[in-house]
Amino acid sequence: MKKTQHLSNLENNDHEKVLLLGIAPSHKERWLTIKSLEELASLTITAGGKVIENFIQVKRRLDPATLIGIGKVKELTQICTIFDVDLIIFNRNLSAAQIRNIEKITDVRIIDRTTLILDIFAKHARTKEAKLQVELAQSEYRLPRLIGKGLEYSRLGGGIGTRGPGEKKLEIDRRRIKQRIATLKRAIKKIVQTKKVQRKSRQGIPKIAVVGYTNAGKSSLVNALTNADLVISDHLFSTLDSNTSILFVPPKHKMLISDTIGFLKNLPHDLIASFQATLAEVLEANILIHIVDATDEDFESKISTVDNVLEEINAHKTSRILVFNKTDRLFDEEKARCKRTYPHAVFVSAKENTGLATLKNRLKDFFFGSP
């Protein structure tokens, strides 16, 4: 069996060969799975992998041991041999037992969608805030997935001879992770408190937070509006913490604008909860700029994903300005259609600095009323 290894740690083998696996509940819903595999492919590339093949299985009733059933896993094994696949990424979450069952047959390493996202987070975490939050998310994801041989056998009624060291070691691992989670939570709480004090000193200054799907152009917009020097890249989740900059709006207004972590479809609740320190900026904002990549053919579903996450973190009641970005890449008729559908939205290009004056005016009107 191949050893478990982080995708981002593969320095000598930059492009691990990856097969993506999606499960559709019916033929009718197959296109949704195709769409989500496209996103999984972007995530895989961001993590440093190379997508060799996609595998979609239509299955309504999942097999508890292997999800797709032993027959399909065997078929998968053949494909992996033909294409020399190093890693299979499932587009849904798997239990530790499921991973082991499938690995046993395929002899190829298996990871799930959340593990992939956490891997990218670990790769991109630069600040202390981001690093602590990512480690917390990883530990919380690992904890319920720690299953030792002893526990597995005793659950199956294996009895004598199956308990012992396996289970003991497992208990120690579990305790260690729990202790680490507590330490991380304490450290994050400290950051939250420090930030709270900082925010208090800025009381009275209007606060804006930029939210949106990952890669929509949040950091680019903040850079374009202010003179910040935030990291911009075509990779997903380039930003993992919040950065606050000062925004000057003529003639003499000063506001604070925060760039934040991007959202993604089907983010596990625990993972969102781990980013408490970063999301505090969103909760404290007087108004949110919800930025959308106008060139994304699937932007409507991404708008609703962002709406859902905002609801989940209890920020859905905050006022919001919808901003369509990357309009430099839209044809005139596409832009006109979008304007008809979203008459209250603002259309900008963070790259070419267009539409920014309109956005600033909207913010000014919100905070100070129209003249």
Q: Is 91 in the site for ligand GTP (CB under 6 A)?
A: no
Angle at 114 between CA 30 and CA 156, to 5 degrees: 95
Residue 235 tokens, joined: 């990779």
Give the bridge partners for 89, in sequence order: 20, 111
- Contact code string over 248-267 relative to ligand GTP, x by CB under 6 A: --------------x-----
In angstroms, the Cα distances linking 205 to 153, 197, 208, 287 are 60, 14, 10, 12
Q: Which of 136, 111, 107, 109 is nearest to 121 (CA)?
A: 136
Strand (E) or helix (H) holding 115: helix 113-124
Nearer to ligand GTP, 98 or 215 (CB): 215
Pairing state of beta strands 253-259 and 243-249? antiparallel
Shortest reach from residue 43's CB to Mg ion, in Å: 15
Residue 327 tokens, joined: 């309009």
Residue 213 tokens, joined: 């799907």
Q: Is 220 in the site for Mg ion (CB under 5 A)?
A: no
Return the residue of 44, 66, 91, 239 that touches Mg ion, per CB under 5 A: 239
Torsion 57-63-65-70 (CA) sign: negative
- Contact code string over 169-208 relative to Mg ion, x by CB under 5 A: ----------------------------------------
Shortest reach from residue 350's CB to ligand GTP, in Å: 4
Nearer to ligand GTP, 80 or 348 (CB): 348
Residue 75 tokens, joined: 């078929």
- What, of Mg ion, ligand GTP, none, does residue 329 touch, CB below 5 to 8 Å by kind? ligand GTP
Return the residue of 62, 143, 181, 232 that touches ligand GTP, per CB under 6 A: 232
Give the bridge partners for 67, in sequence order: 63
Residue carrying the six token digits 């999942």: 62
Question: d(Cα 279, Cα 261) in Å, to the nearest integer?
Answer: 8
Q: Is 220 in the site for ligand GTP (CB under 6 A)?
A: yes
| CB-CB contact of 292 with 216 (8 Å) | yes
- What, of Mg ion, ligand GTP, none, does residue 289 touch, CB below 5 to 8 Å by kind? none
Shortest reach from residue 349's CB to ligand GTP, in Å: 4
Nearer to ligand GTP, 139 or 238 (CB): 238
Q: Is 219 in the site for Mg ion (CB under 5 A)?
A: yes
Return the residue of 326, 346, 363, 364 that touches ligand GTP, per CB under 6 A: 326
Nearer to Mg ion, 36 or 219 (CB): 219
- What, of ligand GTP, Mg ion, none, does residue 351 touch, CB below 5 to 8 Å by kind? ligand GTP
Q: Is 236 in the site for ligand GTP (CB under 6 A)?
A: yes
| CB-CB contact of 24 with 58 (8 Å) | yes
Q: Is 116 in the site for ligand GTP (CB under 6 A)?
A: no
User: Where do contacts with Mg ion occur on this chain (CB under 5 A)?
Assistant: 218-219, 238-239
